[in-house]
Structure 1
Amino acid sequence: MDPGFFDLELIAMQLFSGVALGAVFVMLALGLSIIFGMLGIVNFAHGNVFMVGAYAGVFVMERTGSFWAALLFGPLMVGALGLLIERFLIRPLAGRSPDDPLLLTFGLGYVLVEGVRILFGSDGLPFATPEELSGVADLGIGFFPIYRLFVVGVVALVLVALWYGLERTRLGLIVRAGARDPEILRVLGVDIQRLWLWVFGLGIALAALGGVLAAPMRSVNPEMGNVVLGEAFAVTVIGGMGSLMGSVVAGLLVGVVVSMTALFAPEMASIAMFAFMALVLLVRPQGLFGKPGLGV
């Protein structure tokens, strides 16, 4: 056996790599959980929204030459598209079978893919790591890409902002109440439709932000959303459908599981998260932080 196989520094670096990978998974699952937790909609277009976010980042970066503009305006553009989707596609299905929004988002995913193909072509597009975030940093246990550290930092800031918004503001109180009992909010005179509109837009914008952040690390192509959708659902199901805390914990756990599997059994890395999901569901069918009866 390779004497460096159990090298502690190598394992520590791989664990840190798992956290960085998990940060992307967290961004994937957050938007999905927010939309399901508030609207009760399983968004099958989520992976392709992630893909559209990456292309929006490419679009803005090509015209401004600024990664920071892409990071800001890419998610805002896709979030605005999410507002239109909720208002003109999702809202008319209110009160109908839960299968209707599911089927609609499933078809919408294909529309988004074909739309991107028409506008940008079927070939992948490059998205270079910004110069100021290129290179590596010495963490004391090894060298690690600066851009991945940046991704972890951005996701941490997003989580703090979401926590503050949901726990420390009046709007957050209304959102949490609406997730539990929307009828009470209607009785109190809250415009629940407008609330759902902005929550859906936020969930879509978060997925798009994940796409922009992941673009320098993944190939930007019309099919990238298909793989991402499976990852997003695996993380969300492990954490518990509709649970933001579950999305965070599960995302980081899955990142570490995939990263460590790649170290010790590379041939199993592609299925590690799904094997982990199966094990979690055997013990807790509702996921780590989910409520019974909310599984897909």
Structure 2
Amino acid sequence: MLEFIGIPPQVLLGQILLGLINGSFYATLSLGLAIIFGLLNIINFAHGALYMMGAFVAWIGLNYLGINYWAALVLAPMIVGVFGIVIQRTLIARIAHIDHLYGLLLTFGLALILQGLFRNEFGSTGLPYQIPPALQGAWNLGFMVLPIYRGWVVGISLIVCLATWFTIEKTRLGAYLRAATEDPALTQAFGINVPLLVTLTYGFGVALAAFAGVLAAPIYSVNPNMGADLIIVVFAVVVIGGMGSIMGAIVTGFGLGVIEGLAKVFYPEASATVIFAIMVIVLLAKPTGLFGRLA
């Protein structure tokens, strides 16, 4: 069938793989955004800059401190997550009870500051980050050659996303988080430290962005603009999936990555805008998004 329409199967499967890789980053980043908005009602426009920061923490750790990729996968999200906690306690908490627009403007300004600081220090040229030896090479699957690292990115992103969904939707901790969002005063009356939950939730959402940054470092060059190039697409993914929907962020992220990859085969001219076209269609048909619910 594919040969009949002039598309070699290897080309199509390669684009699906590329779509899954991009979808992995879309899903992980949009998941962090969905958690922060869905549980905290914060539109975090600094998310892309924190994704970039995670990649730079991994690069600095490798080149200056000898911290390898595997340690960076743990340490970079922790470091950036702590930075996010500081942001939340010192800046965002002060405007948490006023219009969402102020939070958006605050985080947008913060993103510009972070990008400017890293650009002044490291320049705009991409910095290489080596694939760890254990993940170098490729698997010959017969119908295509799959780079091991790219397969790892897809697999670990899916595991992290599903583990996050399970924690929030199916565990007692997740129930506490949802209760603190819906009725913080009543939740506080039961002895639950709501401000601490809010702070840790924001830190975790930021850590997801940094985790995605470490995964992206060996595939894309590490540069100060890597988050700015991605954040608009990720916001579109969140809107399509439904603002605050955890499963919506995961399914939509991977799904739109594949659709974007297929668009490069069937209609390359539309590959850069297909996600935004889908967003318009979804909002016209269902303003709350595919998985969103009316308040």
User: Is this a same-fold pair by TM over 0.5?
Assistant: yes
- Note the 1:42-61 alignment, pairs <5 A: 42-61=43-62
Paired residue type of 1:199: T
The Cα of 1:157 is off from its aligned counterpart by: 2.1
Whole-Å Cα distance in 1 between the matches of residues 19 and 124 of structure 2? Answer: 31
Q: Which of 265, 273, 283 lines up with 1:271 in the alignment?
A: 273
Q: Which of 171, 177, 195 lines up with 2:173 in the alignment?
A: 171
Q: Which of 93, 100, 125 lines up with 1:98 in the alignment?
A: 100
The Cα of 1:8 is off from its aligned counterpart by: 4.0
The Cα of 1:287 is off from its aligned counterpart by: 0.7
Q: Which moved more, 1:113-122 or 1:19-28?
A: 113-122
Whole-Å Cα distance in 2 between the matches of residues 92 and 44 of structure 1? Answer: 17
The Cα of 1:88 is off from its aligned counterpart by: 0.4
Tell me if the contact between 1:60 and 1:73 (Cα under 8 Å) persists in the aligned partners: no
Whole-Å Cα distance in 1 between the matches of residues 271 and 49 of structure 2? Answer: 23
Identity of aligned residues (%): 42
> Which runs of 5 or more residues in structure 2 are unaligned?
none
Whole-Å Cα distance in 1 between the matches of residues 67 and 89 of structure 2? Answer: 33
Q: What root-mean-square deviation, in Å, do the aligned CA atoms of Structure 1 and Structure 2 show?
A: 1.9
Q: Which of 241, 250, 256 lines up with 1:239 in the alignment?
A: 241
Q: Which moved more, 1:131-140 or 1:77-86?
A: 131-140
The Cα of 1:93 is off from its aligned counterpart by: 1.4
Q: Which moved more, 1:221-230 or 1:25-34?
A: 221-230
**C-alpha offsets along residues 199-231 of structure 1, whole Å, 9 cap, x if unaligned?**
000000001111111111212111111111111
Equivalent in the alignment of 1:31: 32
Tell me if the contact between 1:61 and 1:69 (Cα under 8 Å) persists in the aligned partners: no
Equivalent in the alignment of 2:207: 205
**C-alpha offsets along residues 167-209 of structure 1, whole Å, 9 cap, x if unaligned?**
4432121012223332331232322111100000000000111
**Partner SS for 2:139:** strand
Whole-Å Cα distance in 1 between the matches of residues 5 and 159 of structure 2? Answer: 36
Equivalent in the alignment of 2:18: 17
The Cα of 1:16 is off from its aligned counterpart by: 3.5
Equivalent in the alignment of 1:125: 127
TM-score normalised per structure 1: 0.92
- Note the 1:71-90 alignment, pairs <5 A: 71-90=73-92
The Cα of 1:107 is off from its aligned counterpart by: 0.6
Whole-Å Cα distance in 1 between the matches of residues 166 and 124 of structure 2? Answer: 41
> Which runs of 5 or more residues in structure 1 are unaligned?
none
Equivalent in the alignment of 1:70: 72
**C-alpha offsets along residues 87-123 of structure 1, whole Å, 9 cap, x if unaligned?**
1011111322322211111111111112212433333
Whole-Å Cα distance in 2 between the matches of residues 146 and 279 of structure 1? Answer: 36
Q: Aligned residue pairs: how many?
A: 293
Equivalent in the alignment of 2:221: 219
**C-alpha offsets along residues 255-282 of structure 1, whole Å, 9 cap, x if unaligned?**
1111001112222211121112122222
Whole-Å Cα distance in 2 between the matches of residues 243 and 17 of structure 1? Answer: 25
Paired residue type of 1:45: A
The Cα of 1:9 is off from its aligned counterpart by: 4.8
Whole-Å Cα distance in 2 between the matches of residues 160 and 276 of structure 1? Answer: 24
Whole-Å Cα distance in 2 between the matches of residues 54 and 27 of structure 1? Answer: 14
Q: Where in structure 1 do 4 or more consecutive aligned residues deviate above 6 Å?
A: none
Q: Which moved more, 1:109-118 or 1:25-34?
A: 109-118
Q: Which moved more, 1:271-280 or 1:232-241?
A: 271-280
**C-alpha offsets along residues 30-72 of structure 1, whole Å, 9 cap, x if unaligned?**
1100000111010111111111111111111212251112211
